[in-house]
Structure 1
Amino acid sequence: MATKEITSENFKSTVEQDGIVLLDFWAEWCGPCKRFGPIFEQVSEKYENYTFGKVDTEANQELSAALQVQSIPTLMMFRDGVLLAREAGLMPPQALEDLIAQAEALNMDDVRAQIAEQQAGQQEQG
């Protein structure tokens, strides 16, 4: 599956869908982004059942600011609407594939239960 362009308009619907979603935050002027782009595209072709999206930080400054993207490239990985990973910097193909394998191995019911426990703990403290 080829990568798709992610904007402020389709971000929420993209990351909230079922399955694994990987987003590459990049900019045209960014050297490491230009080197990571082909790696991201190559890995996307191996995992056709997952969504791979690219967010141009220059064209989507409000979205990038809201997500606190401070350096690029930044990779964010979601599964079933839950942010699982956020990695800044150039990533080799094997590291990206390892991250995907970790997401595949997760029991999302357990992840959601952990999130609920954390939120309940924060509410008790707050």
Structure 2
Amino acid sequence: MGLCCSKPRNDGDDSDHHVEFAGGNVHLITTKQSWDEKLSEASRDGKIVVANFSASWCGPCRVIATFYSELSEKYPVLMFLTVDVDELTEFSTSWDIKATPTFFFLRDGQQVEKLVGANKPELQKKVIAIVNSVATSQK
């Protein structure tokens, strides 16, 4: 399924671990304040948030990052966020992240769906189901 459960030993060279998680319509969350602001914005605009908790050293996270970005461009009715679990350790712990990547689907700040692992077909299926539920509720 593709997931990372623990951080690898640091051999002193992080250059090959850096990956760009923000692209397309993905917003990189670097502070608790920016998280709160984006959730408020999503609630105000009636958008469901897809939050990707990942890590730069996680291979499966890097693999799915491009696909996640593509989904963000294809489904602008949703708000796509990425949280680096190493940047916001305490915050990520409060979400009980056991493996990366972990995706949460949030409506008005409340979890409505969750996916653990870099499973592209399952992520796409959940995104489409959420988009369809938004379209149905707006009729």
Q: Give TM class, smaller chain.
A: 0.7 to 0.9
User: Is the contact made by 1:79 and 1:103 (CA closer than 8 Å) also made in structure 2?
Assistant: no
- Name whichever structure is richer in helix by fraction: 1
Deviations 1:65-88 (A, max 9, x none): 111111101101112332111211
Give, in whole Å, the separation in 2 of the partners of 1:91 and 1:15. Answer: 25
Match of 2:96 in 1: 68
Deviations 1:23-71 (A, max 9, x none): 1111111001000101100111101122101101110001101111111
Deviation at 1:89? 0.5
Size of the aligned set, in residue pairs, is 106
Task: Trace 1:1-126 onto structure 2 (pairs within 5 A).
Answer: 2-6=25-29, 7-16=31-40, 17=43, 18-92=46-120, 94-106=121-133
Identity %: 25
Across the aligned residues of Structure 1 and Structure 2, the Cα RMSD in angstroms comes to 1.8
TM-score by length of 2: 0.68
Unaligned runs of 5+ in 1: 108-126
Give, in whole Å, the separation in 2 of the partners of 1:61 and 1:29. Answer: 14
Deviation at 1:106? 4.2
